[in-house]
C-alpha cells in the first residue's frame, strides 16, 4: 500500500510539472486538456507510412540518450503509445499537430518535416520532466519492478504549429578557425533541436580553404594551411575531404537541414591565391592577393571547375558566391596593366563595373549548372536573375540595400550584423568580441527580430524568406568559446525564425530559456548564462586589447574588433578551451 501511494505521488508531481510547456521555439497554438499519458519502456510507436521509419528511429535514439527509454516501433499496433501520421492535407512545410491524450500521442502532418518537428516538440516535453521511478525505494528487489515504473508522464495537450519562415539558418565560418566534422555535427544536432533548417558553411576566405577540390589539390595542401591565429607555413592543412562533406551533408539531411556551401569571390580569395598565384588579382597594402584576376580568361574556367566539383557535393542545388567587400582589394585592379587594357577594350568606366561583370559571369556559370545563386547584399548592384537569386542582407546601417533587393524582386534572407552576428558581444561585462558603436547582440535582441527593425511593408513581403545568424570566427578559436557565443542566442534565433509575432512574449521566453539551461548542462555546453553571468565567466581565446574608437564600416569579418589580439602571441591556448560537449 505504501509503495502504491509513493507511485501515485510521483505521477501527480509529473502531471503538475507537465502544465508548463517548455518548448523552444514557442508553438503557434497550445490547448491544455485533462488527464495524462506515460511514456516508458513498454510504449510503442506506430507509423501510417513506412517512409516515417527513419524519423521513428531518430526519436528512439534521442529518447534513449535523454531518458534511457526505448519504445519499440510496431506498425501493427493500433493502440500504440505514439502514432505518427502523414495526412493528405496541404500544409505548410514543417507544420504539424501534436495531440497528447491519456490514450495516445498523435503527431500528424502532410509532410515528413512536420512529423519530424512534432517529434522534436515531443522530445523537448519529455526532456523537460524527470524520469519517474529512478529514485524509488522498492519493497521488492526485482529489477523488473524498477523498470516497470520508469516513465515520463505528460499532461494532455493539443499543439498546432507551423513555422513563420522557411529559411531558419545558421552560418559557420571555418576559414578563420577550423573546428572539424564532429563539432559541426553537434551544431547540426542543436539546430535540429531548435527547428533550424539551413546550415550555411563558409569554407573559403583569406585565412584558409577548407574544401577538397580534386582538380586543384593545392587549394587544400597549400591554401588549407594555417588559420586566423596561426599563419605559419609549418602548420598542418585543415580541410574537409569530399567524403567528409558527403558525411556531413547526409547527417544534416537526416535532420531536415539543408547545407549550403560558400565559395567567396571575387574577393576574400587570399588562401586560394596562395595556392594558385597565377589567378591572383594583385595586392594592396593590408590585403595581399585579396581578389581573383578578372582579366584572365583562365580565371573563369578555373572557378567554373571549382564550382562544378563543389555543387556536385551538395544536393541543395544552391551555392553562396560571397560577392562582398571586393572594394578592400580592388585598387590592385587599377594598378594592373592587363586589367586596365581589358577595361578599355570593354568600355568599362571603372573597376566597379568590372567587378559586376566578373560576378555576373560567375553567377551565369552557376545557373547554367542548374543551381541557385546566393550572395551578400553587395550583389544587388549586379543584375542577377530574380528567380534564381537569394540576397543576404547583412549591412543594417544600409537599409537601402534591403529596399533595393526587394525592389528588384529578389528573395531575401535577413542576417544583419545587429542583431544576428554571433561574434558580437552579448553582455556589457564581456571584453572579447565586437560591437557596433557600443551596441551588443543579446539573445533577447535576436528573439525580438525582425519585428522591431523592419517596417510593416517589409515584414509583410513574401520575398523575405527567412532569417540567419552568422558566426564569424576571427575571435573564436576554441569549441568552448564557440559554444559560449552560440548559447543561449541559438534559442533567440529559433524563435525569430519560427514563432509568429502575435504569440511572442519575452517574459515567457526567458522562463523557457532558463528552464532549458539544464539541457545544456547535461550536454557539457559552456554557455553564457544571462540569469547568472558569473556562473560561466566569459570564454576568451585572445587577450583583449580594448579599442575606444569603433570603425563604422566593413563586413563583420573585417570590421575592427572591439577586442583583438594584436599579435599571435596574445592568443590563449586553444587546447585549454577544447570542449567535451555532447550533442542534444
Domain annotation covers residue 77: yes
The predicted model scores a pTM of 0.90
Rounded to whole angstroms, the Cα distance separating 393 from 449 reads 14
Q: What is the pLDDT of residue 577?
A: 33
**What percentage of the chain reaches a pLDDT higher than 90?**
81
Q: Is residue 573 part of a domain?
A: no
CA distances from 381 to 326, 414, 462, 533 (A): 13, 18, 21, 43
**What total of structural domains would you count in the chain?**
1
Most confident among 42-56, 74-88, 132-146, 570-584 (mean pLDDT): 42-56
Whether 418 contacts 472, CB under 8 Å: no
User: Each residue of 294-348: pLDDT tens digit?
Assistant: 999 999 999 999 999 999 999 999 999 999 999 999 999 999 999 999 999 999 9
Q: What pLDDT score does 78 carry? A: 72
Hey, how many other C-beta atoms are within 10 angstroms of the C-beta on 375? 27
The residue range of the domain holding 36 is 2-161
- When pLDDT is cut at 50, 70 and 90, the band that residue 454 belongs to is very high
Residue 430 lies in a domain: no
What is the reported pLDDT for 522?
96
What CA–CA distance (Å, rounded) separates 183 from 173?
A: 13
Q: What is the pLDDT of residue 20?
A: 56
What would the pLDDT profile of 372-429 be if each residue is shown by its tens digit?
Answer: 999 999 999 999 999 999 999 999 999 999 999 999 999 999 999 999 999 999 999 9
Using CA atoms, how far residue 346 sits from 99, 192, 204, 295, in Å, is: 65, 49, 30, 11
> In the chain, what is the greatest distance between 2 CA atoms, to the nearest angstrom?
96
pLDDT at 7 over 70: no
- Domain membership of residue 126 (yes or no) is yes
Give the Cα separation of 412 and 319 in Å (integer).
Answer: 15
User: Is residue 561 in a domain?
Assistant: no
**In this structure, what CATH number is given to the domain that contains residue 96?**
3.30.379.10
Quick check: is 18 in a domain? yes
Is 110 within a domain? yes
Position 344 scores a pLDDT of 96
**For residue 306, is it within any domain?**
no
pLDDT for position 136? 37
Say whether pLDDT at 558 is over 80.
no
pLDDT range class, residue 129, cuts 50, 70, 90: confident
In the chain, % of residues over pLDDT 70: 86
CB 133 within 8 A of CB 10: yes
Where does the pLDDT of residue 6 fall: very low under 50, low under 70, confident under 90, or very high at 90 and above?
very low
Render pLDDT for 565-582 as a digit per residue (tens, 0 to 9).
333 333 333 333 333 456
Q: Is the pLDDT of residue 549 over 50?
A: no
pLDDT of residue 135: 43
Cα angle 484-173-400, degrees, rounded to a multiple of 5: 100
Whether residue 575 contacts residue 447, with contact meaning beta carbons closer than 8 Å, is answered with no
Amino acid at each position: 500500500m505504501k509503495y502504491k501511494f509513493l507511485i501515485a505521488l510521483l505521477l501527480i508531481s509529473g502531471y503538475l510539472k507537465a502544465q508548463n510547456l517548455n518548448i523552444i521555439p514557442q508553438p503557434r497554438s497550445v490547448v491544455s486538456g485533462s488527464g495524462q499519458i506515460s511514456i516508458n519502456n513498454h510504449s510503442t510507436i506506430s507509423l501510417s507510412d513506412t517512409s516515417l521509419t527513419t524519423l521513428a528511429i531518430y526519436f528512439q535514439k534521442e529518447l534513449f540518450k535523454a531518458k534511457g527509454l526505448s519504445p519499440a516501433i510496431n506498425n501493427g499496433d493500433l493502440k500504440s503509445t505514439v502514432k505518427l501520421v502523414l495526412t493528405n492535407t496541404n500544409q505548410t512545410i514543417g507544420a504539424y499537430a501534436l495531440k497528447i491524450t491519456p490514450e495516445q500521442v498523435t503527431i500528424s502532418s502532410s509532410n515528413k518535416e512536420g512529423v519530424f518537428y512534432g517529434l522534436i516538440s515531443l522530445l523537448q516535453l519529455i526532456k523537460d520532466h524527470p524520469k519517474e521511478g529512478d529514485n524509488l525505494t522498492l519493497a521488492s528487489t526485482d529489477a523488473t519492478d524498477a523498470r516497470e515504473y520508469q516513465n515520463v508522464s505528460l499532461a494532455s495537450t493539443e499543439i498546432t504549429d507551423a513555422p513563420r519562415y522557411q529559411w531558419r539558418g545558421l552560418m559557420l565560418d571555418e576559414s578563420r578557425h577550423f573546428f572539424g566534422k564532429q563539432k559541426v555535427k553537434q551544431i547540426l544536432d542543436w539546430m535540429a533541436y531548435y527547428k533550424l533548417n539551413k546550415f550555411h558553411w563558409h569554407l573559403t576566405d583569406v585565412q584558409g580553404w577548407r574544401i577538397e577540390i580534386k582538380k586543384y589539390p593545392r587549394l587544400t595542401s597549400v591554401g588549407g594551411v594555417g588559420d586566423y591565429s596561426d599563419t605559419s607555413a609549418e602548420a598542418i592543412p585543415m580541410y574537409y575531404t569530399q567524403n567528409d562533406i558527403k558525411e556531413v551533408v547526409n547527417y544534416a539531411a537526416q535532420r531536415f537541414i539543408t547545407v549550403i556551401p560558400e565559395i567567396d569571390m571575387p574577393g576574400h580569395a587570399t588562401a586560394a591565391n596562395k595556392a594558385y598565384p597565377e589567378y591572383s588579382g594583385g595586392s594592396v597594402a593590408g590585403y595581399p592577393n585579396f581578389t581573383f584576376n578578372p582579366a584572365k580568361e583562365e580565371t573563369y574556367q578555373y572557378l567554373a571547375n571549382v564550382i562544378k566539383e563543389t555543387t556536385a557535393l551538395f544536393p541543395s542545388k544552391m551555392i553562396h558566391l560571397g560577392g562582398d567587400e571586393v572594394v578592400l582589394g580592388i585598387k590592385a585592379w587599377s594598378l594592373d596593366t592587363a586589367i586596365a587594357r581589358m577595361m578599355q577594350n570593354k568600355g568599362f568606366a571603372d573597376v566597379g563595373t568590372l567587378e559586376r561583370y566578373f560576378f555576373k559571369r560567375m553567377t551565369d556559370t552557376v545557373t547554367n549548372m542548374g543551381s541557385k545563386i546566393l550572395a551578400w547584399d553587395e550583389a544587388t548592384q549586379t543584375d542577377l536573375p530574380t528567380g534564381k537569386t537569394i540576397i543576404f542582407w547583412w549591412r543594417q546601417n544600409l537599409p537601402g540595400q534591403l529596399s533595393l533587393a526587394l525592389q528588384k524582386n529578389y528573395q531575401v534572407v535577413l542576417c544583419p550584423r545587429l542583431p544576428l552576428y554571433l561574434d558580437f558581444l552579448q553582455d556589457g561585462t564581456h571584453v572579447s568580441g565586437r560591437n557596433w558603436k557600443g551596441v551588443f547582440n543579446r539573445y533577447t535582441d535576436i528573439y525580438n527580430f525582425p519585428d522591431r527593425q523592419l517596417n510593416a511593408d517589409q515584414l509583410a513581403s513574401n520575398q523575405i524568406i527567412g532569417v540567419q545568424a552568422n558566426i564569424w570566427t576571427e575571435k573564436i578559436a576554441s569549441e568552448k568559446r564557440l559554444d559560449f557565443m552560440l548559447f543561449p542566442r541559438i534559442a533567440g534565433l529559433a524563435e525569430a525564425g519560427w514563432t509568429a509575432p502575435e504569440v511572442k512574449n519575452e517574459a515567457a521566453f526567458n522562463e523557457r530559456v532558463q528552464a532549458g539551461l539544464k539541457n545544456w548542462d547535461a550536454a557539457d555546453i559552456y554557455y553564457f548564462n544571462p540569469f547568472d553571468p558569473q556562473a560561466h565567466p566569459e570564454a576568451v581565446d585572445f587577450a583583449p586589447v580594448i579599442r575606444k574608437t569603433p570603425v563604422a564600416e566593413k563586413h563583420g569579418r573585417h570590421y575592427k574588433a572591439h577586442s583583438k589580439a594584436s599579435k599571435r602571441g596574445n592568443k590563449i591556448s586553444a587546447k585549454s578551451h577544447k570542449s567535451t560537449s555532447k550533442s542534444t
